[in-house]
């Protein structure tokens, strides 16, 4: 009465699944410097934590007696595991089976993976290594008909973006649906040299008259980490896995979940002397904002995202006194910190991410305004900038601003929602207004300068008078800035903010 025979059948089918696309195709995958799907799952997840679901699913071939000859396994592997000891849903495309094409995945597995993440409120990691979703042109002839396009389970993809953290890793060429699955995430990574993204591959692009390019030239990391399609690149798969694990360490397991205060060995009272002279007195001279961020946040806690696009805005997860915080900062080394169309889009997306998972925001401000000029107008900078400002005004999470230097015009006003309580500080280097005074002195005082015996001396005197008017202390007298602080106290005050925010 034993069921051992059936268990032998199960083990046989599991062994077939372990073979993936066969020894030759597995060897080809490895020769390209790529791990197999199950190796990736093992490397990403906590050791020994992966429990595969639907392992024996595939397309079976049977003889005339109805006995199994072979199974072509599904090229979509998924299951549950742990990252940083927390349960997650993780998926991996198997490129060794029909190039990772979605029609060989058995779509119910894809749907189940997405459903599992949303229904059990578990973070989702997609490792994408697939050529697309529609199958081949030859397959259409075998079918004898075509179908109106739809994507099974996409409703769950949309739901997950509203429900749980979603991370996508591009680990090979991803076209069409594969590329869409990478982009439909909160954080995405490409691996340099082995992953590319495109709406359609090089041969399809050539059919519309494009020059025939290789995969890297059409959709490599140099393109997509600079245009905002993908957040970051990694030098290896192992580095990509580490980045994904670190990203998740700053977020709750689901929207509304509790945040974790990590043990911290960095004293709240730490004061960095270099902050006192971090900002040059010369207003046009750049400085290192990232060094300031490292100096005030918990040591070793800064995790920057999207460094290669929208470069005048720095976006990072950090910790203050062990609490996770979404930090946005100006980068004066790129266009003086002016918000371009890309920078505005980057700021908007980051604030939406913080709002979704209820992370408090810290904004370090040195913004001379929106980028100006013909190219800025062509890029619809003002529209993108207003969308970013709208996102900031819609945010409900606790918000703290620190004006490091410039805050001018509409973009400067986007430092926070002025109608709410302003948890705000300014360094003595603060310089603000509706427009920079330096650029308009000659125009505003044209008549006075034209009648002056020594126009240069008169201009210097006017600028000297104006420098007194623009002193941040004059603004503080009117309580139009709440507090001017010693830069060395910034860490202490932001640790206090984080603690109050999480109350």
User: What local confidence, expressed as pLDDT, does residue 151 receive?
Assistant: 83
Together in a domain, 375 and 329: yes
For position 147, which CATH number holds?
Answer: 3.90.226.10
User: What local confidence, expressed as pLDDT, does residue 102 receive?
Assistant: 67
Together in a domain, 159 and 281: no
> Which of 248, 265, 283 marks a domain boundary?
248
Higher pLDDT, 153 or 42: 42
User: What local confidence, expressed as pLDDT, does residue 1 receive?
Assistant: 80
HEC secondary structure over 336-368: HHCECHHHHHHHHHHHHHHHHHCCCEEEEEEEC
| 155 found inside a domain | yes
| 470 found inside a domain | yes
Together in a domain, 78 and 160: yes
| 257 found inside a domain | no
| 264 found inside a domain | no
Confidence bin at 443 (pLDDT 50/70/90): low
495: pLDDT strictly greater than 90:
yes
For the stretch 356-376, pLDDT in tens is 999 999 999 999 999 999 999
| 124 found inside a domain | yes
| 394 found inside a domain | yes
H/E element holding 432?
A: strand 431-433
For the chain, the average pLDDT equals 90
User: What local confidence, expressed as pLDDT, does residue 140 receive?
Assistant: 64
d(C-alpha 232, C-alpha 314), whole Å: 13
175, β-bridge pairs: 198
Together in a domain, 283 and 238: no
H/E element holding 411?
A: helix 409-413
Confidence bin at 471 (pLDDT 50/70/90): confident
User: What local confidence, expressed as pLDDT, does residue 64 receive?
Assistant: 87
Together in a domain, 359 and 409: yes
Phi, psi of 423 (to 5 degrees): -85, 90
Residues 465-488: what's their mean pLDDT? 89
d(C-alpha 373, C-alpha 336), whole Å: 14
Contacts for 339 with CB less than 8 Å, ≥ 6 apart: 312, 313, 347, 367, 369, 370, 371, 381, 385, 388, 411, 414
Together in a domain, 202 and 336: no
For the stretch 301-345, pLDDT in tens is 999 999 999 999 999 999 999 999 999 999 999 999 999 999 999
| 188 found inside a domain | yes
Q: Give the C-alpha distances (Å, rounded to integers) separating 227 from 180, 308, 310, 311.
A: 15, 8, 8, 11
d(C-alpha 70, C-alpha 61), whole Å: 5
Where on the phi/psi map is residue 98: left (φ > 0), alpha (ψ -120 to 50), or beta?
left
Together in a domain, 297 and 197: no
Tokens representing 242 are 């580490």
How many structural domains is the chain composed of? 2
Residues 292-300: what's their mean pLDDT? 98
Together in a domain, 230 and 376: no
- Taking alpha carbons only, the member of 108, 11, 26, 96 closest to residue 56 is 11
d(C-alpha 386, C-alpha 229), whole Å: 21
Together in a domain, 321 and 467: yes
User: What local confidence, expressed as pLDDT, does residue 232 receive?
Assistant: 96
201: pLDDT strictly greater than 80:
no
Most confident of 262-266, 431-435, 492-496: 492-496
- Taking alpha carbons only, the member of 224, 117, 241 closest to residue 168 is 241
For the stretch 121-171, pLDDT in tens is 999 999 999 766 555 566 667 767 776 777 888 999 999 999 999 999 999
299: pLDDT strictly greater than 90:
yes
Residues 405-425: what's their mean pLDDT? 94
Residue 480's domain spans which residues? 273-501
Together in a domain, 218 and 292: no
> Which of 203, 233, 248 marks a domain boundary?
248
User: What local confidence, expressed as pLDDT, does residue 68 receive?
Assistant: 82
Together in a domain, 228 and 369: no
For the stretch 205-217, pLDDT in tens is 666 777 767 788 8
- Single pTM value for the model: 0.90
Tokens representing 255 are 């929207």
Confidence bin at 202 (pLDDT 50/70/90): confident
| 116 found inside a domain | yes
Q: Give the other-Cβ count within 10 Å of 500's Cβ.
A: 12
Together in a domain, 49 and 95: yes
């Amino acid at each position: 009465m034993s069921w051992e025979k059936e268990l032998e059948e199960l083990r046989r089918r599991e062994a077939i699944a372990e073979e993936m696309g066969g020894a030759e195709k597995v060897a080809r995958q490895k020769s390209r410097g790529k791990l197999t799907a199950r190796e990736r799952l093992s490397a990403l997840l906590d050791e020994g934590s992966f429990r595969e679901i639907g392992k024996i699913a595939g397309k079976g071939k049977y003889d005339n007696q109805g006995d199994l000859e072979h199974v072509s396994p599904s090229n979509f592997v998924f299951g549950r595991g742990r990252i940083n000891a927390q349960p997650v849903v993780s998926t991996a495309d198997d490129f060794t089976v029909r190039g990772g094409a979605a029609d060989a995945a058995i779509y119910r597995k894809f749907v189940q993976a997405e459903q599992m993440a949303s229904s059990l409120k578990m973070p989702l990691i997609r490792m994408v290594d697939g050529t697309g979703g529609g199958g081949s042109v030859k397959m259409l002839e075998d079918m004898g008909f075509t179908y109106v396009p739809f994507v099974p389970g996409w409703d769950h993809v949309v739901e997950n973006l509203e429900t749980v953290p979603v991370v996508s890793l591009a680990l090979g060429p991803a076209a069409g649906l594969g590329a869409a699955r990478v982009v439909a995430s909160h954080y995405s990574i490409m691996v340099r040299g082995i992953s590319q993204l495109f709406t359609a591959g090089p041969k399809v692009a050539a059919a519309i008259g494009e020059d025939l390019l290789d995969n890297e030239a059409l959709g490599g990391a140099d393109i997509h980490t600079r245009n905002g399609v993908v957040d970051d690149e990694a030098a290896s798969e192992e580095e990509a896995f580490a980045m994904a694990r670190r990203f998740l360490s700053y977020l709750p397991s689901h929207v509304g979940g509790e945040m974790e205060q990590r043990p911290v060995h960095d004293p709240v009272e730490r004061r960095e002397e270099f902050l006192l002279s971090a900002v040059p007195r010369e207003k046009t001279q750049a400085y290192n904002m990232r060094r300031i961020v490292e100096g005030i946040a918990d040591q070793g806690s800064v995790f920057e995202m999207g460094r290669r696009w929208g470069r005048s805005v720095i976006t990072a997860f950090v910790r203050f006194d062990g609490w996770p915080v979404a930090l946005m900062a100006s980068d004066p080394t790129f266009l003086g910190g002016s918000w371009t169309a890309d920078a505005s889009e980057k700021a908007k997306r980051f604030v939406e991410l913080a709002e979704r998972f209820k992370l408090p925001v810290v904004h370090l401000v040195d913004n001379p305004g929106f980028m100006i000029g013909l190219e800025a107008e062509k890029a619809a900078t003002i529209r993108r900038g207003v969308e970013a400002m709208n996102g900031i005004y819609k945010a409900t999470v606790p918000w703290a601003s620190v004006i490091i230097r410039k805050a001018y015009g509409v973009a400067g006003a986007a430092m926070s929602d002025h109608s709410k309580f302003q948890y705000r500080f300014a360094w003595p280097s603060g310089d603000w207004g509706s427009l920079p005074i330096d650029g308009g002195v000659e125009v505003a005082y044209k008549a006075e300068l034209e009648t002056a015996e020594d126009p240069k001396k008169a201009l210097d005197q006017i600028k000297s008078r104006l420098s007194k008017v623009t002193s941040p202390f004059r603004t503080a007298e009117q309580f139009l800035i709440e507090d001017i602080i010693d830069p060395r106290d910034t860490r202490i005050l932001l640790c206090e903010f984080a603690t109050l925010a999480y109350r």
